[in-house]
Amino acid sequence: MMVGKKFKFTALIIAIGFVLIGCEGNEFEEKNYSGSALGTTYHIKIFTGKEDLKVDKGLDSIFQVINKSMSTYWKDSDITLINKGVDSIKVDENFQRVFNGSKKIYEETDGYFDPTVGNLVNAYGFGPDKRLERLENDTIDSLLKYVGLDKIQLSSEGKIIKQYPEVYLDFNAIAKGYTLDVIAEFFDNLGVKNYLIELGGELVSRGEHITKQKPFIVAIDDPRQEEGERTFQATLELKNKAMATSGNYRKFRIDSITGERFVHTINPLTGKPERSNLLSVSILAENCMFADGYATAFMALGLEKSKKVAAKLDNIDVYLIYAENDSTKVYTSEGFSDVLFD
């Protein structure tokens, strides 16, 4: 499910440098990795011994596998072939985990998170296919017939079964978060206990910043900043958690009469853009797949509905930036407030 254009505005605050320190009799080396993947960039910091962990090779393998499974921009990926109507594909474990995670978020948000909204995403010009020049009500209604995660099933054999062949799956609003979880599992299996992973603005941390002997510190962008600026709304400790931020506050409009700021997001239930004063959503969760998915869903839900859904869930904490007339305000859950710096 796409919320207008999805922008990630989470920034890392990471000390730069090469440091060797002793910890419980062992030497730990700070190692940094960066590059491009999944249509965005990544930055990773780990603390480990001097041994060659072949991290670059492992990351390349992870990105290759994820793209082959779930990229709608790869012509021969499993999800692309499924969207074209190939019904013989047996999806891998990654696809299955993302599908089942999507089902959970879909149900808990009453359908506001919906990976089958891909036809509408394409129609509005936010996907890999050509956008439609005109979107009349009849066209939207015809597309909505194929929207709904309840119209698609995952069989015990690992095959996708559609109610309609035209149902189009798009995991772009959750796959990046899931990829961070896979990278985290990769480091866990290597025995790395202290790391911070950032991919397209999503974050996962384990342990602490060994050099500073304190948790990793990350930040959330200030929505009032002008283009080209980089100022922060808030900073927080991120320890053994995942965080995802979704927003389109640089695309806000101002009502010419009231002066109120608002943004438009696509409602997957109506297929139409909805006016919302919710500018940015940051989610803390145990894994990044859920943080990513809920952040996207809440942008579609809007402020009041997001607060109600968040109050029912015990596995996430939220930081919501919203517009009120000509200013911005913040709503935070108790768990998020606990890790914020004053």
> Does residue 12 carry a pLDDT above 80?
no
Angle among Cα 298, 304, 307 to the nearest 5 degrees reads 65
In the predicted structure, residue 17 carries a pLDDT above the cut 60 = no
How far apart CA 291 and CA 307 sit, in angstroms, is 15
Contact of 183 with 174, CB cutoff 8 Å = no
Q: Where are the domains of the chain?
A: 69-162
Q: In this predicted structure, which of 112-121, 181-190, 253-262, 283-292 has the lowest mean pLDDT?
A: 253-262
Q: How many CB atoms lie within 10 A of CB 77?
A: 19
Which tens digit of pLDDT belongs to each residue from 238-277? Answer: 999 999 998 865 555 555 566 655 455 778 898 887 777 8
Is the pLDDT confidence value at 144 over 60? yes
pLDDT tens sequence across 203-247: 999 999 999 999 999 999 876 666 666 778 899 999 999 999 988
Q: How far is CA 208 from CA 146, 181, 194, 212, 216, in A?
A: 46, 17, 6, 8, 6
Chain segment 67-76, per-residue pLDDT in tens: 999 999 999 9
CATH 1.10.3980.10 fits 69-162, yes or no: yes
Residue 231: closest CA among 4, 59, 7, 9: 9
Average pLDDT over residues 55-77: 96
Q: What was the pLDDT predicted at 33?
A: 97
Structure tokens at 77: 């990926």
pLDDT range class, residue 137, cuts 50, 70, 90: confident
Q: What predicted TM-score, i.e. pTM, was given to this entire model?
A: 0.86
Model pLDDT, residue 323: 87
Using one digit for the tens of pLDDT, what is the confidence trace for 107-120?
999 999 999 988 88
Percent of the chain with pLDDT over 90: 65
Question: Do residues 91 and 158 make contact, with C-beta atoms less than 8 angstroms apart?
Answer: yes
User: How far apart (Å, rounded) are the C-alpha atoms in residues 3 and 226?
Assistant: 22
Q: In this predicted structure, what is the pLDDT of residue 208? A: 96
At 185, the pLDDT band (50, 70, 90 cuts) reads very high
Greatest mean pLDDT among 8-22, 111-125, 258-272, 285-299 lies in 285-299
216-221 β-sheet, strand order:
10-12, 216-221, 232-238
Tokens, residue 170:
């798009």
Specify the residue for token string 């952040």.
Answer: 295
> What residues form DSSP beta bridges with 331?
320
pLDDT band at 92 (very low <50, low <70, confident <90, very high): very high
